[in-house]
Amino acid sequence: MAALRAANPRAHITLAARAPIAPFVAASPMKEAIDRVIPLPIDPYRWDAPTPALFAALKRALAAFSDEPVETFVSAELRPTWFTFVMAAKLRPERAVTLRRVAYSRAFVGSICRRLSLSVPRFERYADARTRVHELDRYRRLLHYLGAGEPVVPQWSLSPARSRRVLREHGLERFSYVACFPCGSAGTSLKIWPAERFVAVLGAVRGTLGGRVLVAGDQSERPALEAFAARCAEAGLEPHVFAGGLSSFGELSALIANAWGYLGNDTGLAHLAGAFGVPGTTVYGGGTWPAYAPWANGSVGVVHPLPCFGCYWDCAFGHALCVERIPAEPVRAALEAAVAAAGAPARVVEVATFAAETLAVMGDAAERYREAQADRAARLEALLVMARKFPAPS
């Protein structure tokens, strides 16, 4: 967003984001580059067929957009959905940009646009959706396509006075605790590393780095966070639970920014810690690898490469072996190394626990599963096409 603003200083930039995400923009440095944020009261991943309930939800979502002319519409998602194209049809921009080879239901979009008397504009494509690259690389390609400069790696900061106030309110001191994110993936539970291994790592570094732990997450995760804190206490650690919400993002930021390190699943909080320059370690699975691989100095990722990577968490095995098979020891070593070299470039530690024969079988099974899922999607697409051609009598 900063690069776009620098390249277009007089433009009016609007960011449309799902409602749970939008408030975080106003609480972050991103607000300096954006003129308006539109919270979208719809989750496009919940819908795959045109229904009265969907049209009611769409009416509420699209009502947030005025009829003012739009020069450029940018689809910046990692996985554009049907809603991307419906929104572009609503905005009627002079120019629309998205990825190539985007997997979405043309029939679904066609049904919606016909019902709403909309027409999808022609899109320009800046990169291939099937190319597995880091998000920073993808954003770089997008910015170059738009004629903007290089994206700057985030380096956020907080005022010392605010930090002192927040720490005092929570009975903590700067650099006296580690921030741990054992949850943070309610929508994708497959990403969550076993709690007992988080506790094992924290217990193993207690003697060298300290045993005070900030157990942080969303207020909806409070029961899980408190259960995790109880495990920590049983292991002789000193846990402090922070279960926040949209209104406490600034408070959470201050707590994370003043930790000596972080340890967590691949979630927004781990990347927030990186933005504040906190060293630490993230446990990764293969759902979106390597899109969100570590990027900040002092960050170390631990990953178990498998031939089924790139599943977007539609796991062929029903449970994420890529996450479950990561043992505690390499994560402990990665955390200690990250803290010891806080200014070192981000890096990845790979572990391997399967024999070559097992990996071959897993690769074959995953390929068959994806073929079945593709066939299922094609059948649904055919049904939607049939419904458009032969609508049910009213």
What DSSP string describes 202-269?
HHHTHHHH-SEEEEEEEGGGHHHHHHHHHHHHHTT-EEEEEEE-GGGHHHHHHHHHTSSEEEEESSHH
Where would I find the beta strands (DSSP E) of 63-177?
72-74, 95-100, 123-128
Residue 201 shares a structural domain with residue 328: yes
Give the model's pLDDT for residue 316.
Answer: 94
| pLDDT, tens only, 322-366 | 999 999 999 999 999 999 999 999 999 999 999 999 999 999 999
Indicate whether 250 belongs to any domain: yes
Mean pLDDT computed over 89-107: 94
Residue 219 shares a structural domain with residue 326: yes
When comparing pLDDT for 249 and 93, which is higher?
A: 93
Residue 141 shares a structural domain with residue 165: no
Indicate whether 369 belongs to any domain: no
The band of 382, judged by pLDDT with boundaries at 50, 70 and 90, is: confident
192: Cα separation from own chain's centroid: 14
pLDDT value at 380 more than 70: yes
Mean of pLDDT over the chain: 93
When comparing pLDDT for 388 and 226, which is higher?
A: 226
- Specify the number of domains making up the chain: 2
* CATH number of domain containing 6: 3.40.50
Give the model's pLDDT for residue 272.
Answer: 95
- Find where tokens 């009627």 sit: 92
Tell me, yes or no, if the pTM score tops 0.95. no
- For 54, residues 6+ apart whose C-beta sits below 8 A from its C-beta are 47, 112
pLDDT value at 203 more than 80: yes
> How many CB atoms sit inside 10 A of residue 29's CB?
14
Indicate whether 356 belongs to any domain: no
Give the model's pLDDT for residue 187.
Answer: 65
| d(C-alpha 77, C-alpha 86), whole Å | 14
| pLDDT, tens only, 35-50 | 999 999 999 988 888 8
Residue 209 shares a structural domain with residue 302: yes
Burial letters 136-154, b for 16+ CB under 10 A, else e: bebbbbbbeebebeebeeb
Residue 128 shares a structural domain with residue 201: no
Which range of residues forms the domain containing residue 18? 2-145
User: Residues 180, 335: contact at Cβ < 8 Å?
Assistant: no
Give the model's pLDDT for residue 9.
Answer: 94
Query: What percentage of the chain has pLDDT greater than the value 70?
Result: 98
| pLDDT, tens only, 141-193 | 999 999 998 888 888 999 999 999 999 999 999 999 999 999 976 667 888 99
Residue 227 shares a structural domain with residue 121: no
Residue 310 shares a structural domain with residue 207: yes
Indicate whether 366 belongs to any domain: no
User: Residues 252, 242: contact at Cβ < 8 Å?
Assistant: yes
Residue 238 shares a structural domain with residue 322: yes
Indicate whether 382 belongs to any domain: no
Residue 206 shares a structural domain with residue 333: yes
| pLDDT, tens only, 109-138 | 999 999 999 999 999 999 999 889 999 999
Give the model's pLDDT for residue 28.
Answer: 84
DSSP 3-state of 68:
coil
Six-digit token string for 114 = 């016909």
> How many CB atoms sit inside 10 A of residue 97's CB?
18
- For 375, residues 6+ apart whose C-beta sits below 8 A from its C-beta are none
Indicate whether 284 belongs to any domain: yes
Residue 89 half-sphere exposure toward CB, CA atoms < 13 A: 18
* CATH number of domain containing 280: 3.40.50.2000
| d(C-alpha 16, C-alpha 250), whole Å | 21
Residue 284 shares a structural domain with residue 323: yes
Residue 186 shares a structural domain with residue 293: yes
- Find where tokens 């690898």 sit: 289
| d(C-alpha 96, C-alpha 90), whole Å | 12
Indicate whether 151 belongs to any domain: no
| d(C-alpha 43, C-alpha 212), whole Å | 37
User: Residues 128, 101: contact at Cβ < 8 Å?
Assistant: yes
pLDDT value at 392 more than 70: no
Mean pLDDT computed over 356-382: 92
| d(C-alpha 182, C-alpha 217), whole Å | 8
pLDDT value at 60 more than 80: yes
pLDDT value at 91 more than 80: yes
| pLDDT, tens only, 206-256 | 999 999 999 999 999 999 999 999 999 999 999 999 998 878 888 999 999
When comparing pLDDT for 377 and 35, which is higher?
A: 35
| pLDDT, tens only, 286-312 | 999 999 999 999 999 999 999 999 999
Indicate whether 242 belongs to any domain: yes
Of 56, 25, 60, 68, the closest CA to residue 40 belongs to 60
Residue 96 shares a structural domain with residue 215: no
